[in-house]
Amino acid sequence: MPLSAETVAQITDLLAQGATNRAIAAATGINKSTAAQYRARLGYGPAPKRPSPTRSTLTVEEKCLTYVRPVEGGHMEWTGRRTKANGTPVFTHHERTYTARSIAFRVAKGRDPEGYVTAECDYKECVAPDHLEDEPGRRRIRAQLAAVLGRATALTECTRGHATADHRKYLPDGSPYCGACAAQGKRARQAAA
Protein backbone atom coordinates (compact mmCIF):
# COMPACT_ATOMS: atom_id res chain seq x y z
CA MET A 1 0.00 0.00 0.00
CA PRO A 2 1.52 3.35 -1.03
CA LEU A 3 2.20 5.72 1.80
CA SER A 4 0.18 8.87 2.15
CA ALA A 5 1.71 12.14 1.00
CA GLU A 6 1.56 13.24 4.60
CA THR A 7 3.60 10.25 5.79
CA VAL A 8 6.15 10.70 3.01
CA ALA A 9 6.52 14.35 3.97
CA GLN A 10 7.03 13.30 7.57
CA ILE A 11 9.68 10.73 6.57
CA THR A 12 11.45 13.30 4.42
CA ASP A 13 11.44 15.72 7.30
CA LEU A 14 12.82 13.16 9.76
CA LEU A 15 15.57 12.09 7.32
CA ALA A 16 16.59 15.73 6.95
CA GLN A 17 16.89 15.93 10.74
CA GLY A 18 19.27 12.93 10.77
CA ALA A 19 16.84 10.47 12.39
CA THR A 20 17.66 6.75 12.41
CA ASN A 21 15.49 4.25 10.51
CA ARG A 22 14.27 2.98 13.85
CA ALA A 23 13.24 6.48 14.97
CA ILE A 24 11.44 7.11 11.66
CA ALA A 25 9.62 3.79 11.94
CA ALA A 26 8.54 4.58 15.49
CA ALA A 27 7.34 8.08 14.58
CA THR A 28 5.41 7.21 11.41
CA GLY A 29 4.25 3.64 11.92
CA ILE A 30 6.11 2.28 8.84
CA ASN A 31 8.64 -0.51 9.27
CA LYS A 32 12.41 -0.02 9.34
CA SER A 33 13.05 -1.49 5.89
CA THR A 34 10.55 0.94 4.35
CA ALA A 35 12.36 3.76 6.13
CA ALA A 36 15.63 2.42 4.68
CA GLN A 37 14.12 2.38 1.16
CA TYR A 38 13.03 6.01 1.47
CA ARG A 39 16.45 6.90 2.85
CA ALA A 40 18.13 5.43 -0.25
CA ARG A 41 15.55 6.86 -2.68
CA LEU A 42 15.85 10.38 -1.26
CA GLY A 43 19.62 10.25 -1.37
CA TYR A 44 20.39 10.27 2.35
CA GLY A 45 23.46 8.38 3.57
CA PRO A 46 23.36 5.21 5.65
CA ALA A 47 21.47 5.42 8.93
CA PRO A 48 23.59 6.84 11.71
CA LYS A 49 24.82 4.07 14.01
CA ARG A 50 23.68 4.33 17.55
CA PRO A 51 26.69 4.54 19.85
CA SER A 52 27.36 1.23 21.57
CA PRO A 53 25.90 1.27 25.09
CA THR A 54 29.23 -0.03 26.44
CA ARG A 55 31.29 2.63 24.66
CA SER A 56 32.87 4.83 27.30
CA THR A 57 31.98 8.51 27.23
CA LEU A 58 35.15 9.28 29.20
CA THR A 59 38.25 10.75 27.60
CA VAL A 60 41.32 8.52 27.54
CA GLU A 61 42.81 10.52 30.45
CA GLU A 62 39.63 10.18 32.53
CA LYS A 63 39.45 6.46 31.82
CA CYS A 64 43.06 6.03 32.94
CA LEU A 65 42.35 7.74 36.25
CA THR A 66 39.46 5.35 37.02
CA TYR A 67 42.10 2.63 37.54
CA VAL A 68 44.32 4.44 40.03
CA ARG A 69 43.97 4.24 43.79
CA PRO A 70 45.69 6.72 46.12
CA VAL A 71 48.02 5.13 48.66
CA GLU A 72 49.91 6.63 51.57
CA GLY A 73 52.48 9.30 50.80
CA GLY A 74 50.68 10.76 47.77
CA HIS A 75 51.54 7.77 45.58
CA MET A 76 49.07 5.91 43.41
CA GLU A 77 48.62 2.25 42.72
CA TRP A 78 47.40 0.72 39.46
CA THR A 79 44.27 -1.38 39.90
CA GLY A 80 43.80 -2.12 36.20
CA ARG A 81 45.20 -4.67 33.79
CA ARG A 82 48.89 -5.44 33.30
CA THR A 83 50.73 -6.98 30.38
CA LYS A 84 51.59 -10.66 30.81
CA ALA A 85 55.13 -10.15 29.52
CA ASN A 86 56.44 -7.62 32.05
CA GLY A 87 53.52 -6.42 34.16
CA THR A 88 53.30 -2.98 32.54
CA PRO A 89 50.05 -1.26 33.61
CA VAL A 90 47.79 -0.96 30.55
CA PHE A 91 44.14 -0.26 29.77
CA THR A 92 41.85 -0.20 26.78
CA HIS A 93 39.90 2.82 25.61
CA HIS A 94 37.69 2.74 22.49
CA GLU A 95 39.34 -0.50 21.31
CA ARG A 96 42.90 0.83 21.66
CA THR A 97 45.39 -0.23 24.32
CA TYR A 98 47.39 2.42 26.16
CA THR A 99 50.15 2.21 28.74
CA ALA A 100 48.92 3.80 31.95
CA ARG A 101 52.11 5.77 32.63
CA SER A 102 52.19 7.52 29.27
CA ILE A 103 48.58 8.70 29.70
CA ALA A 104 49.07 9.59 33.40
CA PHE A 105 52.12 11.59 32.32
CA ARG A 106 49.92 13.50 29.87
CA VAL A 107 47.46 14.24 32.69
CA ALA A 108 50.22 15.96 34.69
CA LYS A 109 52.18 17.67 31.91
CA GLY A 110 49.58 18.26 29.23
CA ARG A 111 51.82 16.78 26.51
CA ASP A 112 52.96 13.37 25.31
CA PRO A 113 56.15 11.96 26.86
CA GLU A 114 59.47 11.64 25.02
CA GLY A 115 60.84 8.13 25.40
CA TYR A 116 59.54 5.84 28.09
CA VAL A 117 57.97 7.01 31.35
CA THR A 118 59.16 5.96 34.81
CA ALA A 119 58.07 6.81 38.35
CA GLU A 120 60.83 8.88 39.94
CA CYS A 121 59.55 8.39 43.50
CA ASP A 122 60.31 5.63 45.98
CA TYR A 123 56.96 3.83 45.65
CA LYS A 124 57.35 0.75 43.46
CA GLU A 125 55.38 1.04 40.20
CA CYS A 126 53.74 4.31 41.23
CA VAL A 127 51.34 5.78 38.64
CA ALA A 128 50.76 9.16 40.34
CA PRO A 129 50.83 11.63 37.42
CA ASP A 130 53.02 14.08 39.36
CA HIS A 131 55.61 11.40 40.13
CA LEU A 132 56.25 10.43 36.52
CA GLU A 133 59.03 11.64 34.27
CA ASP A 134 59.93 11.01 30.65
CA GLU A 135 63.47 10.81 29.28
CA PRO A 136 64.31 14.56 29.37
CA GLY A 137 62.62 15.04 32.76
CA ARG A 138 64.40 12.03 34.24
CA ARG A 139 67.76 13.34 33.05
CA ARG A 140 67.10 16.76 34.50
CA ILE A 141 65.98 15.71 37.97
CA ARG A 142 68.66 13.01 38.32
CA ALA A 143 71.32 15.52 37.25
CA GLN A 144 70.04 17.88 39.94
CA LEU A 145 70.30 15.08 42.49
CA ALA A 146 73.84 14.27 41.36
CA ALA A 147 74.78 17.93 41.76
CA VAL A 148 73.30 18.04 45.27
CA LEU A 149 75.20 14.88 46.21
CA GLY A 150 78.42 16.15 44.65
CA ARG A 151 78.39 13.33 42.08
CA ALA A 152 78.07 15.48 38.97
CA THR A 153 80.97 14.75 36.67
CA ALA A 154 83.50 17.40 35.65
CA LEU A 155 84.54 15.36 32.59
CA THR A 156 83.47 16.57 29.13
CA GLU A 157 83.55 13.07 27.65
CA CYS A 158 83.55 9.42 28.72
CA THR A 159 86.49 7.01 28.36
CA ARG A 160 85.21 6.10 24.86
CA GLY A 161 84.87 9.72 23.80
CA HIS A 162 81.09 10.23 24.06
CA ALA A 163 80.35 13.87 24.91
CA THR A 164 79.05 14.33 28.45
CA ALA A 165 76.64 17.05 27.36
CA ASP A 166 74.82 14.64 25.03
CA HIS A 167 75.18 11.27 26.73
CA ARG A 168 75.56 11.75 30.47
CA LYS A 169 72.73 10.06 32.37
CA TYR A 170 72.12 9.29 36.03
CA LEU A 171 70.79 6.34 37.97
CA PRO A 172 67.91 6.98 40.38
CA ASP A 173 70.48 7.45 43.20
CA GLY A 174 72.32 10.16 41.23
CA SER A 175 75.25 8.02 40.08
CA PRO A 176 76.43 9.23 36.67
CA TYR A 177 76.97 6.94 33.69
CA CYS A 178 77.40 7.26 29.93
CA GLY A 179 74.12 6.59 28.11
CA ALA A 180 75.86 5.85 24.80
CA CYS A 181 78.14 3.24 26.40
CA ALA A 182 75.18 1.70 28.24
CA ALA A 183 73.19 1.45 24.99
CA GLN A 184 76.17 -0.15 23.22
CA GLY A 185 76.58 -2.64 26.06
CA LYS A 186 72.89 -3.51 25.91
CA ARG A 187 73.04 -4.10 22.14
CA ALA A 188 76.14 -6.28 22.55
CA ARG A 189 74.43 -8.36 25.25
CA GLN A 190 71.33 -8.78 23.06
CA ALA A 191 73.48 -9.83 20.07
CA ALA A 192 75.31 -12.39 22.23
CA ALA A 193 72.09 -13.81 23.69
Binding site for Zn ion (CB under 5 A): 75, 121, 123, 126, 128, 131, 158, 160, 162, 178, 180-181
Residue closer to Zn ion (CB basis): 64 or 126: 126
Nearest approach, Cβ of residue 140 and Zn ion (Å): 18
Nearest approach, Cβ of residue 166 and Zn ion (Å): 10
Shortest CB 179 distance to Zn ion, Å? 8
Q: In whole angstroms, how close is the CB of 47 to Zn ion at the nearest point?
A: 49
- Looking at beta carbons only, is 30 or 89 nearer to Zn ion? 89
**Whole-angstrom distance, CA of residue 78 vs CA of residue 92:** 14
Helix axes 21-28 and 32-41, enclosed angle (nearest 10): 110
Helix%, strand%, coil% for the chain, nearest 5: 45, 15, 40
25/128 with CB nearer Zn ion = 128
Q: Which is nearer to Zn ion, 42 or 71 (CB)?
A: 71
- Residue 177 CB, nearest approach to Zn ion (Å): 9
Q: Nearer to Zn ion by C-beta: 8 or 180?
A: 180
The least CB distance from residue 84 to Zn ion, in Å, is: 24
Instruction: Please say which residue, 74 or 136, places its beta carbon nearer to Zn ion.
Output: 74
